[in-house]
Amino acid sequence: MSIYGDYIKSVIRTVPDWPQPGVNFRDITPLLQNSAAFRKLVDSFVHRYQEMEIDAVAAIDARGFIVGAPLAYELGCSFVPVRKKGKLPFRTISETYTLEYGEAEVELHSDAFKQGDRILIVDDLIATGGTMLAAAKLITRSGGQVVETATIVDLPDLGGSARIREAGFNVFAVCSFTEDE
Ligand SMILES: O=P(O)(O)OC[C@H]1O[C@H](OP(=O)(O)OP(=O)(O)O)[C@H](O)[C@@H]1O
Ligand SMILES: Nc1ncnc2[nH]cnc12
How far, in Å, from the CA of 51 to the mean position of ligand 2? 30
**Tens-digit pLDDT profile for residues 99-151:** 877 899 999 999 999 999 999 999 999 999 999 999 999 999 999 999 999 99
| Ligand 1 probe mutation, 23, 26, 32, 63, most atoms within 8 A of CB | 63
Residue 1 has pLDDT above 80, yes or no: no
How far, in Å, from the CA of 99 to the mean position of ligand 2? 12
Our CA angle for 27, 180, 5, nearest 5°, is 55
**Tens-digit pLDDT profile for residues 31-81:** 999 999 999 999 999 999 999 999 999 999 999 999 999 999 999 999 999
| Percent of the chain residues past pLDDT 90, beyond the cut | 96
Residue 3's pLDDT is 82
| Ligand 2 probe mutation, 25, 60, 101, 158, most atoms within 8 A of CB | 25
**Tens-digit pLDDT profile for residues 87-112:** 999 999 999 999 877 899 999 999 99
130 CB less than 6 Å from ligand 1?
yes
| Percent of the chain residues past pLDDT 70, beyond the cut | 99
Q: Tell me, what's the ipTM?
A: 0.98
> What is d(CA 119, CA 81) in angstroms, rounded to the nearest whole number?
12
Q: What are the backbone angles phi and psi of residue 169, rounded to the nearest 5°?
A: -105, 145
